[in-house]
Homo-oligomer: A and B are copies of this chain.
Amino acid sequence: MTDKTVLISQQGAVRILTNSNPGARNAITPTLYAELSAALTDAENDPEVGAIVFTGAGDFFCSGGDLNLLAKRRELPTAERREILEGLNNLIRALRDCSKPVIAAVEGGAAGAGLSMALACDMLVSARDAFFTVAYVKVGLTPDGGATAFLAEFVSRQVLTEMCLTGDRMPAERLHALGAVNRLTDKGAALAEAVALAAKVATGPQRATTRIKTLCRQAHHATLEEQLDAEAVFMVESQGDAESAEGIGAFLGKRSADFVALRRQKQDAS
């Protein structure tokens, strides 16, 4: 019998991936990176999956790094420390580059690298009483996993600096007002709401969805010219795709579009 860190389940077209280390509020374990990356690849390759939800077991999303492990990190050569950090960075890249949308479902809180993982997802559903914290400074460390990049997408430099220099908790409601939380829920209801949002997205045109995810991923860092070009490349592809034939045909025929049947097809030559 093997203990898995990442639990995998399916609800309709939604794949649910659960980081499970409940004894330590789902703190990051050495096995998380490889298991989660593998689970994302499986979901990408499975035609029955339209969207993915990433959550934590029990009532807390993720408390970040394990301080007992971090305490020993100083004894390693810097090259090894960097290699371990690339494990986290690769996980962040896997969430970003996954061809299917990933929605985080947060209960309780997300701290340190837990915050980075929650914000690395494409969308975010959170219980109203949850909190988010860039905790590192409290133990003399500095943010990692893209925390400062993700926060800068929606908070001012002044608030970003305060969050990073104080490590104070930001309530989910404030994150919602600032736009980074898509849905606020009652305590205990974040997973169900995330699955509902994922199910809605999972019925959409899959290849268009992948193109849209790519555009949204780069939009905050691209110039208008770069984005005009990327949008045009994708629109030319979309116009030749069976998905738009179905979508436009359904609209003109006054019926609902059925994109799910097209999920297994490769894109048409265009």
Are A228 and B181 within 8 A (Cβ)? Answer: no
Q: In this assembly, does A152 line the interface, its C-beta being within 8 Å of a C-beta of chain B?
A: yes
Cα distance, A225 to B210, chains bound together (Å): 20
Chain A, residues 47-80, CB within 8 Å of chain B (1/0): the string is: 0000000000000000000011011011000100
Contacts of A222 in B (CB 8 A): 149, 221
Residue in contact with A122 in the complex, picked from B161, B215, B248, CB distance below 8 Å: B161
Q: In this assembly, does A9 line the interface, its C-beta being within 8 Å of a C-beta of chain B?
A: no
Residue in contact with A145 in the complex, picked from B68, B154, B231, B270, CB distance below 8 Å: B231
Known: A81-B236, A247-B139, A257-B140. A165 touches B212 (CB 8 A): yes
Are B239 and A141 within 8 A (Cβ)? Answer: yes
Which residue in chain B gives the minimum CB-CB distance to A154? B156
Are A68 and B154 within 8 A (Cβ)? Answer: no
Chain A, residues 212-246, CB within 8 Å of chain B (1/0): the string is: 11011101111110011001101111111101111
Residue in contact with A212 in the complex, picked from B142, B240, B243, CB distance below 8 Å: B142
Are B123 and A224 within 8 A (Cβ)? Answer: no
Known: A238-B140, A247-B139. A179 touches B156 (CB 8 A): yes
Q: In this assembly, does A211 line the interface, its C-beta being within 8 Å of a C-beta of chain B?
A: yes
Cα distance, A259 to B213, chains bound together (Å): 43
List 15 additional contacts besides A122-B158, A138-B247, A143-B231; criterion CB under 8 Å. A70-B248, A81-B235, A92-B228, A96-B224, A122-B161, A137-B208, A140-B205, A140-B248, A141-B248, A142-B211, A152-B216, A154-B156, A157-B217, A158-B179, A158-B180
Are A165 and B74 within 8 A (Cβ)? Answer: no
Are B148 and A81 within 8 A (Cβ)? Answer: no
Contacts of A246 in B (CB 8 A): 140
Q: In this assembly, does A41 line the interface, its C-beta being within 8 Å of a C-beta of chain B?
A: no
What are the nearest 6 A-B pairs in CB distance?
Answer: A140-B247, A139-B247, A140-B243, A152-B219, A149-B227, A154-B156
Cα distance, A227 to B93, chains bound together (Å): 12
Are B235 and A141 within 8 A (Cβ)? Answer: yes
Q: In this assembly, does A260 line the interface, its C-beta being within 8 Å of a C-beta of chain B?
A: no
Cα distance, A122 to B145, chains bound together (Å): 22
Contacts of A89 in B (CB 8 A): 228, 232
Cα distance, A34 to B135, chains bound together (Å): 37
Residue in contact with A270 in the complex, picked from B78, B137, B200, B216, CB distance below 8 Å: B78
Q: In this assembly, does A146 line the interface, its C-beta being within 8 Å of a C-beta of chain B?
A: yes
